[in-house]
């Protein structure tokens, strides 16, 4: 018997620091578009944020970041009237299901997770247990709603595969074929993979020590223009073909970002700037970036001025999320054999 599960999107982002252009072009903009295709649940994963020092023990910063990320979602176009928008810790079913799934997943599976190896670095024994079991909580985030589609970056593909393995094993072990759907990754394109403005081979990242490496969603027009002006380039004029970008990571990155912001195919951007100097390109680039990004920053500021309103939105979202998760969690408990 195969039941088809109704389409449902789930995705989340950690509330650590402010978001940058990579989060916007690589993730948020896709989330916004998916709202036209399927029902969507978007979560600020504050429970994941405490798995590492950056979130752990910083109560004030964490709550501030949660509100900021929420504001960024909304300012980018996530519509709380259409989609469910909430923070993870307000819906207890995530933690409840995570426990059960901790007992489904195998140590051997988690031992293979490359992101844990990267994040724990040289001192694995000093990492939190939560960091180790992070992918299981992520599986619970998705499965507690029986979500079918999960837009994520390439770096989350392995975690998604783990979620599928856990779902499959749960279905087998508890003799409930098709209880959980096997969630599909919707991998966001490499065309919108945004790299550092200081090094075209490194991802734009909130942890890079140089603020000039990234454009934050909260940057004002001056900061955006300055960062673009200072962005690393190479000595040659811009090429007239895709091929001409080979081996020129900085040129490629800037062209990619321009095309993504302009919402035009890359070939068009290349044709437009063929043979031009970087300084001509950068002027137009700065103008475009300011035009596209400053309204988001302004909207974020407006939203953040009224924390109570953001908290109300999160609470209303959490209630809707709870309403979906509660009956699924009740079925899980029955399947497992928990009384009550
Ligand atoms: N681990 C994801 C990331 O770092 C964030 C995340 C947590 C997530 N739970 C999720 C993404 C569930 C998609 C679905 O990007």
- Residue-wise pLDDT tens digits, 50-106: 999 889 999 999 999 999 999 999 999 999 999 999 999 999 999 999 999 999 999
Domain for residue 94, yes or no?
yes
List 119, 202, 292, 320, catalytic entry: 119
- CA–centroid distance, residue 191 to ligand 1 (Å): 21
- Give burial (CB, 10 Å; 0-12/13-18/19+) of 297: buried
Q: Could you tell me if 48 and 132 lie in one domain?
A: yes
Whether residue 227 lies in the annotated active site:
no
- CA–centroid distance, residue 326 to ligand 1 (Å): 21
C-beta separation of 186 from 251 below 8 A? no
Q: Could you tell me if 154 and 225 lie in one domain?
A: no
- CA–centroid distance, residue 46 to ligand 1 (Å): 11
Q: Could you tell me if 71 and 37 lie in one domain?
A: yes
- Residue-wise pLDDT tens digits, 244-301: 999 999 999 999 999 999 999 999 999 999 999 999 999 999 999 999 999 999 999 9
Q: Could you tell me if 37 and 108 lie in one domain?
A: yes
Mean residue pLDDT across the chain: 95
Quote the pLDDT of residue 196. Answer: 96
136, two tokens? 């299981």
Q: Could you tell me if 64 and 33 lie in one domain?
A: yes
Domain for residue 319, yes or no?
yes
Quote the pLDDT of residue 3. Answer: 66
pTM exceeds 0.85: yes
Number of domains in the chain: 2
Cα separation values, 188 from 215, 237, 252, 263, Å: 20, 30, 18, 15
Domain for residue 209, yes or no?
no
Whether residue 206 lies in the annotated active site:
yes
Q: Is the CB of 18 under 6 A from ligand 1?
A: no
Given a cut of 60, whether residue 2 has pLDDT beyond it is: no
Kindly state the average pLDDT of the residues 301-324.
98
Q: Could you tell me if 79 and 167 lie in one domain?
A: yes
Give residue 295's domain range.
Answer: 218-301
Domain for residue 197, yes or no?
no
Quote the pLDDT of residue 4. Answer: 87
Quote the pLDDT of residue 193. Answer: 83
- Quick one: pLDDT band at residue 191, thresholds 50, 70, 90? low
Which residue from 138, 143, 183, 187 has its CB within 8 A of the most atoms of ligand 1, so it is best to mutate?
A: 138
CATH number, position 153:
3.40.50.620
- Residue-wise pLDDT tens digits, 112-155: 999 999 999 988 999 999 999 999 999 999 999 999 999 998 88
% of residues, the chain, pLDDT over 90: 91
Given a cut of 70, whether residue 190 has pLDDT beyond it is: no
Residues in the chain: 340
Q: Is the CB of 138 under 6 A from ligand 1?
A: yes
Q: Could you tell me if 41 and 91 lie in one domain?
A: yes
Q: Could you tell me if 237 and 289 lie in one domain?
A: yes
Q: Could you tell me if 225 and 288 lie in one domain?
A: yes
Q: Could you tell me if 152 and 272 lie in one domain?
A: no
Which residue from 69, 141, 145, 167 has its CB within 8 A of the most atoms of ligand 1, so it is best to mutate?
A: 141
How is residue 24 annotated by DSSP? I
How is residue 28 annotated by DSSP? I
Q: Could you tell me if 127 and 228 lie in one domain?
A: no
Domain for residue 199, yes or no?
no
Domain for residue 4, yes or no?
no
Q: Could you tell me if 241 and 266 lie in one domain?
A: yes
Backbone φ and ψ of 153, nearest 5°? -80, 165
């Amino acid at each position: 018997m195969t039941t088809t599960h109704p389409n449902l999107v789930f995705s989340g982002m950690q509330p650590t620091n402010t978001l940058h252009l990579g989060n916007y072009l690589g993730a948020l903009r896709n989330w916004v578009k998916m709202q036209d295709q399927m029902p969507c649940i978007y979560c600020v994963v504050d429970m994941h944020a405490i798995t590492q020092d950056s979130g752990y023990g910083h109560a004030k910063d964490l709550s501030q970041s949660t509100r900021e990320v929420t504001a960024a979602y909304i300012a980018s176009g996530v519509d709380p009237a259409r989609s469910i928008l909430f923070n993870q810790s307000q819906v207890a079913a995530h933690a409840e299901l995570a426990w059960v799934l901790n007992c489904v997943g195998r140590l051997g599976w988690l031992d293979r997770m490359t992101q844990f190896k990267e994040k724990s670095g040289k001192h694995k024994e000093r990492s939190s247990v939560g960091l180790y079991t992070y992918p299981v909580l992520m599986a619970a985030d998705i499965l507690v709603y029986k979500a079918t589609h999960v837009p994520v970056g390439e770096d989350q593909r392995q975690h998604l595969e783990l979620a599928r393995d856990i779902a499959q094993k749960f279905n087998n072990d508890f003799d409930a074929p098709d209880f959980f759907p096997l969630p599909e990754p919707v991998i966001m394109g490499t065309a919108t993979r945004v790299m550092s403005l200081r090094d075209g081979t490194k991802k734009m990242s909130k942890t890079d020590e140089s603020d000039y490496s990234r454009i934050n969603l909260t940057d004002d027009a001056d900061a955006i223009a300055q960062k673009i002006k200072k962005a690393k380039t190479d000595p040659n004029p811009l090429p007239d073909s895709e091929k001409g970008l080979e081996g020129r990571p900085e040129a490629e990155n800037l062209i990619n970002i321009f095309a993504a912001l302009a919402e035009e195919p890359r070939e068009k951007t290349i044709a437009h700037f063929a043979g031009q100097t970087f300084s001509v390109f950068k002027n137009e680039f700065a103008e475009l970036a300011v035009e596209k990004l400053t309204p988001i920053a302004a909207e974020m500021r407006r939203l953040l001025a009224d924390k109570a309103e953001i908290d109300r939105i999160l609470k209303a979202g959490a209630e809707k999320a709870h309403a979906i998760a509660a009956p699924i969690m009740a079925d899980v408990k029955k399947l497992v054999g928990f009384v009550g």
